[in-house]
Amino acid sequence: MTVTTEMKSRLIEEIQEWKIKRNAVLLAHNYELPEIQDIADVLGDSLALARAAVTTDAEVIVFCGVHFMAETAAILNPEKTVLLPDLEAGCSLADSITASQLREWKAQHPGAVVVAYVNTTADVKAESDYCCTSSNAVDIVRSIQEDQEILFLPDMFLGSFVKKETGRENMHIWMGECHVHAGIAPHQVETVITQYPEAELLVHPECGCSTSSMYLMSEGVLPEEKTHILSTGNMLKHSKTSSATEFIVATEVGIIHQMEKQNPDKRFIPANREAICPFMKMITLEKVLAALKENKHVITVPPETAKKAKLAIDRMISIG
């Protein structure tokens, strides 16, 4: 069914009413549908949303993102109600490693410190020493003693980026990937750069083109001053402060909505127009309203798992 402008307005009005009734806050990721981004109380990347979940006074957190994000909010707020409007909103990257696989990997490297990207399940976080996001992964790895062996998981592209930035030879990387970011290929980026030679290139470190972008920068193929490997939050900051008027964006295309809102006089070109995460597009206005009215769907984490996972998450929030 097509949702008309009038229907959207009514839905938004009703959502605002129910937010007041429930003393609820709406947190949304930068990749969500435009109409979800527009009604969010807090819009951001995983780190910003985790910090917002800690500081909110609301009794109910409606998380417009994917399952692992809602789990993280539930771990940080055991006394609050955390709702995920669609239980099917998962993550291919989080699915690329299980807790049992991590335990096996740890057994092969006794004494290693485990750094887990926040895109992981609560069970995996509970087996980890640190969590990180793309915006503070380098800072977290640098905070660990240089002679300490590190297991970094699950994203191989982010891991490769962090390893290069820190120069850590004793860092092992799990071979997982986000299928959307992995699909942004180097040849696609090079084609768009040829079409827009004056544009700055903004690359998310999860992308399949991130490693090649670093290599091409070192070889002088990509101009270093115009190529930036950034988290989604830092992409937004950079696009606001840069004097450039055109940007090629190598990440999930949902972020371009916010970029265009914040910079109406600038142009943003997706490196791959098909880089769309189906999980991030599952949450709609209708589902947000149903979550508030019907308490759908409450996300909980077993206390023992939450206790262990919280140690790693707290370290993530405190660094970078």
Rounded CA-CA distance 23/28 in Å is 17
Please indicate if the annotation marks 178 as binding a ligand.
yes
Q: Report the percent of the chain where pLDDT is more than 90.
A: 78
- Fold for the domain defined by 5-89+280-300: Rossmann fold (3.40.50)
Q: What phi and psi values does residue 241 have, to the nearest 5 degrees?
A: -95, -20
Please indicate if the annotation marks 218 as binding a ligand.
no
Please indicate if the annotation marks 181 as binding a ligand.
no
Listed residue (30, 35, 11, 23) closest to 61, CA to CA: 23
Rounded CA-CA distance 211/159 in Å is 10
Q: How confident is the model at residue 211 (pLDDT cuts 50, 70, 90)?
A: low
Q: What is the pLDDT of the chain when averaged over all its residues?
A: 93
pLDDT at 317: 87
Report pTM.
Answer: 0.90
Please indicate if the annotation marks 196 as binding a ligand.
no
Q: How confident is the model at residue 170 (pLDDT cuts 50, 70, 90)?
A: very high
Say which residue the tokens 């909505």 belong to: 257
Query: In the chain, where are the structural domains located?
Result: 5-89+280-300, 94-178+307-318, 180-270
The answer to whether the beta carbons of residues 209 and 184 sit under 8 Å apart is: yes
The angle that helices 156-166 and 210-218 make with each other, rounded to 10 degrees, is 30
Please indicate if the annotation marks 277 as binding a ligand.
yes
CATH of 94-178+307-318, one of 1.25.40.10, 3.40.50.10800, 3.40.50.1100, 3.40.190.10: 3.40.50.10800
Kindly tell me if the per-residue pLDDT of 78 is higher than 70.
yes
What lies within 8 Å, CB to CB, of 301 at 6+ separation is: 71, 74, 75, 122, 309
Please indicate if the annotation marks 66 as binding a ligand.
no
196 is written with which tokens? 């827009």
Does CATH place domain 180-270 in 3.40.50.10800?
Answer: yes
Please indicate if the annotation marks 119 as binding a ligand.
yes
Out of 135-144, 212-221, 231-240, 245-254, which region has the weakest mean confidence (pLDDT)?
Answer: 212-221
Kindly tell me if the per-residue pLDDT of 216 is higher than 70.
no
Q: Report the percent of the chain where pLDDT is more than 70.
A: 96
Please indicate if the annotation marks 205 as binding a ligand.
yes
| pLDDT digit string, tens, across residues 232-249 | 889 999 999 999 999 999
Please indicate if the annotation marks 132 as binding a ligand.
no
Kindly tell me if the per-residue pLDDT of 294 is higher than 80.
yes
pLDDT at 214: 65
Q: Indicate if 180-270 has the same CATH topology as 5-89+280-300.
A: yes
